[in-house]
Amino acid sequence: MTMKAVRPRMAATGSLSRRMILIAAGWITVLLAGGGFALDRVLVSAVTRNFDDQLEYVMKALILSAEIGPEGEVIFTREAADQQFLEPNSGLYWQVSAPNREPFPSRSLWDRRLSYGSQHTDRLVHNYDSKQFAGEELRIAERDVRLPGSPVRWRFQVAQSRDGLNGQIAVLRRTLVRSFALLAIGLLALAALQTFYGLWPLRKVRAEIARMRAGQSTRVSDAMPDEVSPMVEELNALVEHNERQAEEARRHAGNLAHALKTPLTVIMNAATAQADDLADTVIREARTMRRQVDHHLARARAVGRRGSAHSRAAVWPSVESVERAVARLYRHVRIDVAGPKDLSVHVERQDLDEMLGNLIENAAKYGGGSVFVTVAAEAGFVEILVEDDGTGIPEEDRVRIFDRGVRLDTGKPGTGLGLAIVRDVAEIYEGTVTLEESEDLGGLLVRLRLPAAS
C-alpha cells in the first residue's frame, strides 16, 4: 500500500486579510465614536440653547410688562400670552420673587413654588436644570432686575419641563446612532471589499505557483500591479536560477558519467582479457578517474557556493597566500605582485584561492623563473593578470588548452585540468579567463576577470 507524501505546512502568522480588516475596523470605530461624540455634544448644545432662548424670550416679555404697584407688589401691564401659564401643573411656569416678599407665581404653579436662593445675584440670565419638583425635571432661566420705583431686586424665573427637550435629544441621538451604525457597516464593507480586491493579485500568484508546481507552466506570466510585479520578477528569476542550476547539475552528472565511462571500459576489457599489464592499467585509469572526480567536485562546490548573495573575498590576501604556497614549492621562481590592496570580488575565498593557485602554479611550473601578478580594477570587474617568461602558448592552441585533460607539455607532472577548472569556476561567478601573450616577459599572460564587490 502506497502512502501519499504529506507536504509540511509552513508556520503561519495569521490571515493578512483579517489583519487589514481588523485594523480598518478599529480605526473606523475610533473615528466614528469620536466624531459621533463630538457631533452629539454640538447638536445637544444647539437644541438646549434654542430651548433656553425660548425661556429667555418669555422672561424678557415678563420683565418689560412688570411694574411696581401701590403696595410695592409687582403687577403686569399685560398677561403672558401662553395659555399654559394659566393651566395648573402644565409644565410651563413663571415666578417673581424678592427677599422678604411673598413670591408672585403663575397660575400654572398652583400650590407649588420655585426655589429662590437669595445668596447670589443673577444680573445676567442664568440657565440651569432643577429637580425640585418630584417626578418633573425642570429647565429654569432666571435673572435679577431692579424695577423702577422698587427698593429691592426682583428675581424673575421662567421654568419649563425638560420632557420636550429630552424628547428632542433622544430623537437626535437615535438618528445619530442609526446613521453612524449604517456608516460603519458601509465603511467595513468597503474595507473588506478593498482588502479582497487589493490582495487578489497575491491569490493569482499563488494559483500560478500551483500551476508551475503541477508542471502546467514554467513562469508567472500574467500582468501584475506595480506593487506585486517586482516580487513576481524576483520569483521568475529564482525559478530561472533553479532551472539553470538543475540543468548544470544534469550536464555535470552527464559529463562525469561520460568521463568515467572510458576508463571503466578499459579496466573491464583488461580484466576480461586477463591482460599482463592489468595492474598498471588499473592504476593509470584510476588516476584518470580521480582527476575527473576532483575536477567535477571543484566545479560542484563552486556552483553550490555561488547561491550566496554575500559571497565576498579580498583579492590581495588571497594572492599573497597563494604566492607564499607556490614559492615554497618552486624556490627557484621569483614571484612579483603589484596593484591596489583594497579590491574585493564577489567570489568565495576558497574558489578564489583555487583559481589563483592553478594560474600561479602553472606560471611557476611552465615559466622560465619569473612570474608577475598584477591586480587592477576595470569597469565593475577586478582583473588579475598572471604573466610568466616561458615559451607561452601558440594562438591556435589557446582555446583547446581549456579542454579537460589537454596538456601541451607532457614532460612535467600534471593533470591537464587546471585551466579547465579556472574557466568553469570563473564562469560560474559570471567572470572570464583569457590567454594572451605577455609583452613584458614574453611568455603567457592569463587575464582573469571577476565581478568586483563594492
- Of the residues 274, 303, 332, which one is the last residue of a structural domain? 303
pLDDT tens digit string along 28-61? 999 999 999 999 999 999 999 999 999 999 999 9
Give this prediction's pTM.
0.52
- Of the residues 247, 282, 303, which one is the last residue of a structural domain? 303
pLDDT tens digit string along 333-344? 999 999 999 999
State whether 443 and 318 are in the same domain: yes
State whether 370 and 430 are in the same domain: yes
Q: What is the CATH number of the domain that holds 150?
A: 3.30.450
How far is the C-alpha of 204 from the C-alpha of 211, rounded, in Å? Answer: 10
CA 404 to chain centre: 49
State whether 122 and 248 are in the same domain: no
State whether 314 and 447 are in the same domain: yes
State whether 292 and 327 are in the same domain: no
Q: What separation in angstroms does the CA of 194 have from each of 23, 26, 189, 199?
A: 13, 16, 8, 8
Q: Which of 10-24, 318-332, 359-373 has the lowest average pLDDT?
A: 10-24
State whether 314 and 444 are in the same domain: yes
State whether 139 and 241 are in the same domain: no
- For residue 156, give its domain range: 41-169
Specify the pLDDT at position 236: 85
State whether 273 and 352 are in the same domain: no
pLDDT at 175 exceeding the cut of 90 = yes
Q: Which of 174-188, 300-314, 346-360 is modeled with the greatest confidence?
A: 174-188
Give the residue-averaged pLDDT of 318-324.
92
Query: Is 198 within the bounds of a domain?
Result: no
pLDDT at 413 exceeding the cut of 50 = no
Query: Is 203 within the bounds of a domain?
Result: no
**Dihedral sign, CA of 286, 290, 291, 295?**
positive
Query: Is 90 within the bounds of a domain?
Result: yes
Specify the pLDDT at position 386: 93
Q: Which of 7-16, 40-49, 289-298 is modeled with the greatest confidence?
A: 40-49
Specify the pLDDT at position 400: 67
Q: Where does the pLDDT of residue 259 fall: very low under 50, low under 70, confident under 90, or very high at 90 and above?
A: low
The residue ranking higher by pLDDT, 121 or 33, is 33
The residue ranking higher by pLDDT, 425 or 171, is 171
pLDDT at 295 exceeding the cut of 70 = no
State whether 346 and 388 are in the same domain: yes
Query: Is 14 within the bounds of a domain?
Result: no
pLDDT at 307 exceeding the cut of 60 = no
The residue ranking higher by pLDDT, 410 or 10, is 10
Q: Where does the pLDDT of residue 377 fall: very low under 50, low under 70, confident under 90, or very high at 90 and above?
A: very high
Q: Where does the pLDDT of residue 420 fall: very low under 50, low under 70, confident under 90, or very high at 90 and above?
A: confident
**Number of domains, the chain:** 3
State whether 262 and 316 are in the same domain: no
Give the residue-averaged pLDDT of 179-193.
92
3-state secondary structure the chain: CCCCCCCCCCCCCCCHHHHHHHHHHHHHHHHHHHHHHHHHHHHHHHHHHHHHHHHHHHHHHHHHHEEECCCCCEEECCCCCCHHHHCCCCCEEEEEECCCCCCEECHHHCCCCCCCCCCCCCCCCEEEEEEEECCEEEEEEEEEECCCCCCCCEEEEEEEECHHHHHHHHHHHHHHHHHHHHHHHHHHHHHHHHHHHHCHHHHHHHHHHHHHHCCCCCCCCCCCCCCCHHHHHHHHHHHHHHHHHHHHHHHHHHHHHHHHHHHHHHHHHHHHCCCCCHHHHHHHHHHHHHHHHHHHHHHHHHHHHHCCCCCCEEHHHHHHHHHHHHHHHCCCCEEEEECCCCCEECCCHHHHHHHHHHHHHHHHHHCCCEEEEEEEEECCEEEEEEEECCCCCCHHHCCHHHCCCCCCCCCCCCCCCHHHHHHHHHHHCCCEEEEEECCCCCCEEEEEEEEECC
Query: Is 402 within the bounds of a domain?
Result: yes
Query: Is 51 within the bounds of a domain?
Result: yes
The residue ranking higher by pLDDT, 220 or 12, is 220
The residue ranking higher by pLDDT, 39 or 220, is 39
Query: Is 193 within the bounds of a domain?
Result: no
Q: Which of 232-236, 253-257, 379-383, 439-443 has the lowest average pLDDT?
A: 253-257
Query: Is 106 within the bounds of a domain?
Result: yes
State whether 251 and 368 are in the same domain: no
Q: What is the CATH number of the domain that holds 370?
A: 3.30.565.10
State whether 245 and 137 are in the same domain: no
- Of the residues 303, 330, 346, which one is the last residue of a structural domain? 303
The residue ranking higher by pLDDT, 231 or 382, is 382
